């Protein structure tokens, strides 16, 4: 099912309408762990307003909160993604995918500057965690170094068999892009045709 992940700012309905217009079949509204329980009811209410289109709520966990993953794992029964760099994201099958690795400064020689390496890829393959590509970050960055890190992460992930997924992570409708445009952008960044074709299935 062709799906986009977004981060609402009290604009859930606008994001849903844009997703439908762009040709998605499902949207997942991502919230912080603290917001999730409250927003789940809203997502279910919104889901009832649309026919032939699915609306779900999920959780996005910042790397600074990764130490609480064990607590979240007991409570959360929804799609959960990580944002930023934390080794724990790659070891927990709670985490579906990890976005914006390229924005984290890992430093030193232990981890590649782009945030990914062979060891982390192997852990991700075992746990089923995917490398997430944030389309809004790619489009809005304008930073050649950041784009270079994204390309490097894609290369490493494909080399070691880590799956790749993509989502807009949009906060506003204008940051969203059609599935066709996203797949084309992924191929430009070096994602293979097969991986790009599966990248929007959540």
Task: Enumerate the β-bridge partners of residue 131.
Answer: 98, 164
CA triple 22-2-101, angle to 5 deg: 95
Q: What is the CATH number of domain 3-195?
A: 3.20.20.140
CA 110 to chain centre: 24
Res 140: pLDDT? 85
How many Å from the N-terminal Cα to the C-terminal Cα in the chain? 7
Distance between CA atoms of residues 176 and 167, nearest Å: 9
Where in the chain are the domains?
3-195
Predicted TM-score (pTM) of this structure: 0.91
The string of DSSP codes covering 70-139 is HHHHHH--S-EEEES--THHHH-TT--EEE-GGGS---TTTS-TTS--HHHHHHHHHHTPEEEEEHHHHH
140: exposed, middle or buried (Cβ count in 10 Å: 0-12, 13-18, 19+) = exposed
Per-residue pLDDT of the chain (202 residues; tens, 9 = 90+): 999 999 999 999 999 999 999 999 999 999 998 899 899 999 999 999 998 999 999 999 999 888 877 776 666 678 899 999 998 899 877 899 999 998 875 544 344 467 899 999 999 999 999 999 999 999 888 788 889 999 999 999 999 999 999 999 999 999 999 999 999 999 999 999 999 999 999 7
Q: At what angle do helices 118-127 and 144-159 cross, to 10 degrees?
A: 60
Q: What is the spatial distance between Cα 34 and Cα 18, in angstroms, rounded to a whole number?
A: 26
Exposed e or buried b per residue across 176-188, where buried means at least 16 C-beta atoms within 10 angstroms of its C-beta: bbebeebbebbee
């Amino acid at each position: 099912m062709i799906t986009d992940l977004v981060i609402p700012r009290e604009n859930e309905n606008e994001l849903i309408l844009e997703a439908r217009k762009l040709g998605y079949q499902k949207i997942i509204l991502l919230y912080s762990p603290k917001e999730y329980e409250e927003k789940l009811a809203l997502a279910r209410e919104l889901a009832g307003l649309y026919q032939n289109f699915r609306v779900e709520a999920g959780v996005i966990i910042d790397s600074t909160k990764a130490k609480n993953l064990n607590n979240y794992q007991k409570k959360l029964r929804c799609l959960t993604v990580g944002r930023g760099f934390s080794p724990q994201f790659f070891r927990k099958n709670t985490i579906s995918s990890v976005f914006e690795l390229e924005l984290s400064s890992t430093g030193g020689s232990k981890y590649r500057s782009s945030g990914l390496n062979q060891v982390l890829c192997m852990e991700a393959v075992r746990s089923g965690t995917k490398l997430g590509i944030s389309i809004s970050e790619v489009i809005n960055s304008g930073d050649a170094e950041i784009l270079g890190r994204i390309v490097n992460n894609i290369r490493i992930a494909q080399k070691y068999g880590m799956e790749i997924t993509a989502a807009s992570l949009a906060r506003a409708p204008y940051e969203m892009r059609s599935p066709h445009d996203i797949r084309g952008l992924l191929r430009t960044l070096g994602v293979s045709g097969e991986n790009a074709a599966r990248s929007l299935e959540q």
